[in-house]
Amino acid sequence: MPPIPNAETHVGSPRSRVDGRAKVTGGARYSAEFTAPDLAHGYVVNSTVAKGRITGIDTAAALAAPGVLAVFTHENRPRTAWFSYKYQDEVAPPGTPFRPLYDDKVVYSGQPVALVVAESFDAARHGASLVRVSYQAEAHETDLTSRMGEAYEPPKKRSGISPPPKPRGDAPGAYADSPVKVSGGYWAAYEHHNPMEPHATTVVWEGGGKLLVHDKNQGVLNAQSYVSSVFGLGKDDVRVVTPFVGGGFGSGLRPQYQLFLAVMAALELRRSVRVVLTRDQMFTHVYRPNTFQTVKLGANPDGTLRSIQHHSVTGTSQFEDYQEVVVNWTGTLYHCDNVELTQKLAKLDTYTPGDMRAPGAPTGLFAAESAMDELAYATGVDPIELRLKNYTEHDENEGKQFSSKELRACYEVGAERFGWSERNPEPRSMREGRELIGWGMASGAWEAQMMKTSARAVLTADGKLEVACATADIGTGTYTILTQIGADAFGLRMEDVTTRLGDTTLPYSPVEGGSWTAASAGTAVQLACEAVREKLFKHAQKASGSPLAGAKLDAVSFAGGRIEVTADPDRFVTIADAMRAGGVDRLEAEETANPSKIDQLRYTGYTHSAIFVEVRVDEELGVVRVTRVVDAVAAGKILNPKTARSQVVGGIVWGIGMALEEETLPDHNLGRFMNHNLAEYHVPVAADVQGIEVIFVDEHDTKVSPIGVKGLGEIGIVGTAAAIANAIYHATGKRIRDMPITIDKVLG
């Protein structure tokens, strides 16, 4: 840029969500809530074996049931793309994507094998209950432990995911020579995203081959490309509109199978179709993979690291090599000359795992930061001092500078607020009644990324602004921050600005994820607004006797519906007069924000955090409660402290779930998940969450993104599970390396 100076009235200030009223009144419509005349309803039938062939599907009873219109199976599936690459979406890992109803092969338990479409939801559900599927089952394997010996380094790397760096120095040798050693093996359980809104697609048949698709996703353009590619439709014939997303957490990054099924049925029946997954069907697609890690740290007696070895094996499907960054964090966070990091995969007869909130980071840091805590005990060095002793000012994995790194301040401010100096490091040293009290801490890091994104700004003579971008607001507050940026660009009230998102007719955005949306869409909106400001200013100068004649753009301010000379606000032109002078009644600009290639070559960007946790552990019952959390976060510029805090609090709640509750339990005999519902898959509820304090540490960064924003969607979760595990050790003297840390493990 640089940005044109204008007073920041809204940016940086706490503002309530602009979509708040719609959400508290029930006015916000989600994908299953759009309707159409003559809407038909689809209900999915899922496989009951993990591997094998479908030997027969008896649909006669279903077809005879009242209201049933059609039953789609692999036997009568309408023609779709032949090549598997046609099913590849924007964020697909290497491999051949799953193709619903493609053939008689079953590749995972719960795979959709039929879709019953009927006049009503009830009739479709009833019809689905009448479909009889027979299988020739084959031997399957869903247990990661039995595939560890066949783990492999993925031959093809997933785009956008940094593979582990080449080894530095001689990590095994330095470990052998280290006077202090810690090592351990760590497990992280399967987790399912479970957004509150189940995946759903409503396809509105508009006639003339045109489809209006309301689909739960985190990227309407990705969904549109997928539909267009799979069904051979022109992009102009497929419009995807998803204004509200009832939680994503990564589950909406890739198109899920209900999108395929709903579009297929709509095209074949030539009418509108809705397909909604049930909660148990939400356990038949994407999930966080099961991961095993080993960490070995070698150090001097003063805690200085001499060797880091961090290895992981993650489960993936038979058909795709899903990859996330698990081990790199250890090499990024600490200075060490001898580092060996590897990530391997093992193939299982499951669906492909996928990105789930901060994919890889909380898993990897659970292991790394637990090991650092062990090292603190082994050396007698305070955990914060240990981290400061091994602090690094540049990214040794990448050999680049950090665009900014205020982690030191996070440790300091967080420790101060938490009262860390009062801690007696001795395990089991704090007790109240039958409860043992423990204090633990951990560091967090997440990549601060910016992606190419476009936005449009339209200013009308009545002083109203509309900003638009195809990106999604999945609860992150995107509507609100873009409104703030737009309002400040013209000195408007937020009520005068409308933000439109989640529509394929709007300017380009990649999927919403990775914490990159605020930096990317925010910059694009800022650029579009600046382009409109320049146009408006030129018109204002053209007005006869313009008080702005001869003024420079950087010497004026936009405020209260007018452009005024900053040094002499009595000299001004109103927006309406400027437009009149230009003979227009609206001004529009579309701009594209790109990350700086030069800065990317020289710098890496990370958000950092230091998280402090107090747990209380009932010694007899083994119940762990997280009673206090302080999280100090350095995330560059904070656009809206109110929604920003909510993002981080939400991430911390996810960390509590990961550490203590969340686990999808496979039955390896059947090759399926057993606890496919919200009564048995435990997520945190209100009673599990007590005091959480979030502190944003000042961090100025002009390299990470032009607006100085780093992103907040992931950082709340990353260090939380490790800090809880460390607090449990402090409380009980038990080092538990197997998440979630459930009662049986605490008592065991």
Partner 1 sequence: MPDNPARAATGGPAPARLGPATSPQTVAIELTINGRPRRLAVAPWTTLLDLLREELDLTGTKKGCDHGQCGSCTVLLDGQRINACLVLAVMKDGSAVTTVEGLSGPDGALHPMQEAFIEHDAFQCGYCTPGQICSAVALVEEGRARAPDEIRELMSGNICRCGAYPNIVAAIQQVLASNGGAGR
Residue 342 and residue 163 in contact, taking contact as beta carbons nearer than 8 Å: no
Q: Is 324 a catalytic residue?
A: no
Instruction: Indicate whether 27 belongs to the interface with partner 1 (CB under 8 A).
Output: yes
Among 284, 323, 705, 742, binds partner 1 (CB under 8 A): 284
The DSSP code for 705 is -
**Residues 638-667 close enough to bind partner 1 by CB under 8 A:** 642-643, 645-647, 649-654
Nearer to partner 1, 592 or 627 (CB): 627
Site string for partner 1, 574-603 (x = CB under 8 A): ------------------------------
Q: How far is the CB of 692 from partner 1 (least distance, A)?
A: 5
What does the angle CA 676 – CA 678 – CA 680 come to, to the nearest 5 degrees?
65
**Residues 215-244 close enough to bind partner 1 by CB under 8 A:** 244
Instruction: Indicate whether 711 belongs to the interface with partner 1 (CB under 8 A).
Output: no
Taking Cα atoms as reference points, which of 243, 323, 314, 249 lies closest to residue 282?
249
Q: How far is residue 46's CA from residue 107's CA, in Å, rounded to a whole number?
A: 12
How many residues contact partner 1, by CB under 8 A? 89
Part of the chain binding partner 1 (CB under 8 A), chosen from 280-288, 532-540, 598-606, 738-746: 280-288
Strand partners, 388: none
Q: How far is the CB of 250 from partner 1 (least distance, A)?
A: 12
Q: How far is the CB of 477 from partner 1 (least distance, A)?
A: 7
CB atoms within 10 A of CB 342: 17
Part of the chain binding partner 1 (CB under 8 A), chosen from 432-440, 470-478, 483-491, 509-517: 470-478
Q: How far is the CB of 522 from partner 1 (least distance, A)?
A: 18
Q: How far is residue 354's CA from residue 194's CA, in Å, rounded to a whole number?
A: 13
The active-site residue out of 374, 564, 590, 714 is 714
Q: How far is the CB of 234 from partner 1 (least distance, A)?
A: 31
Q: How far is the CB of 100 from partner 1 (least distance, A)?
A: 15
**Residues 158-197 close enough to bind partner 1 by CB under 8 A:** 194-197
Q: How far is residue 274's CA from residue 265's CA, in Å, rounded to a whole number?
A: 9
CB atoms within 10 A of CB 685: 11
Part of the chain binding partner 1 (CB under 8 A), chosen from 276-284, 427-435, 526-534, 586-594: 276-284
Q: How far is the CB of 509 from partner 1 (least distance, A)?
A: 18
Residue 501: what are its φ and ψ, rounded to 5°?
-140, 170
Give the 3-state DSSP-derived string for 104-115, with helices as H, strands as E and coil as C.
CEECCCCCEEEE
Nearer to partner 1, 408 or 625 (CB): 625
Among 1, 8, 23, 568, binds partner 1 (CB under 8 A): 23
Q: How far is the CB of 70 from partner 1 (least distance, A)?
A: 16
Instruction: Indicate whether 690 belongs to the interface with partner 1 (CB under 8 A).
Output: yes
Site string for partner 1, 666-685 (x = CB under 8 A): ------xx--xxxx---xxx
Give the 3-state DSSP-derived string for 54-73, with helices as H, strands as E and coil as C.
EEEEECHHHHHCCCEEEEEE
List, in sequence order, the alpha helices (H) in 205-341. Answer: 220-231, 257-269, 328-333
41: Cα separation from own chain's centroid: 30
Q: How far is residue 357's CA from residue 306's CA, in Å, rounded to a whole number?
A: 32
**Residues 52-91 close enough to bind partner 1 by CB under 8 A:** 64-67
Q: How far is residue 327's CA from residue 397's CA, in Å, rounded to a whole number?
A: 11
**Residues 96-155 close enough to bind partner 1 by CB under 8 A:** 109-110, 119-123, 125-126, 128-133
Strand-strand pairing, 273-276 and 200-205:
antiparallel
Nearer to partner 1, 252 or 507 (CB): 252
Q: List strands edge to edge, sheet with 305-316.
A: 339-347, 305-316, 291-299, 180-188, 738-739
Q: How far is the CB of 472 from partner 1 (least distance, A)?
A: 10
Residue type, 463: G
- CB-count exposure of residue 388 (10 Å: 0-12, 13-18, 19+): middle
Among 10, 17, 199, 730, binds partner 1 (CB under 8 A): 17
Nearer to partner 1, 341 or 653 (CB): 653
Strand-strand pairing, 291-299 and 180-188:
antiparallel
Among 4, 28, 378, 553, binds partner 1 (CB under 8 A): 28
Instruction: Indicate whether 30 belongs to the interface with partner 1 (CB under 8 A).
Output: yes
Nearer to partner 1, 403 or 471 (CB): 471
Give the catalytic positions in this structure.
714
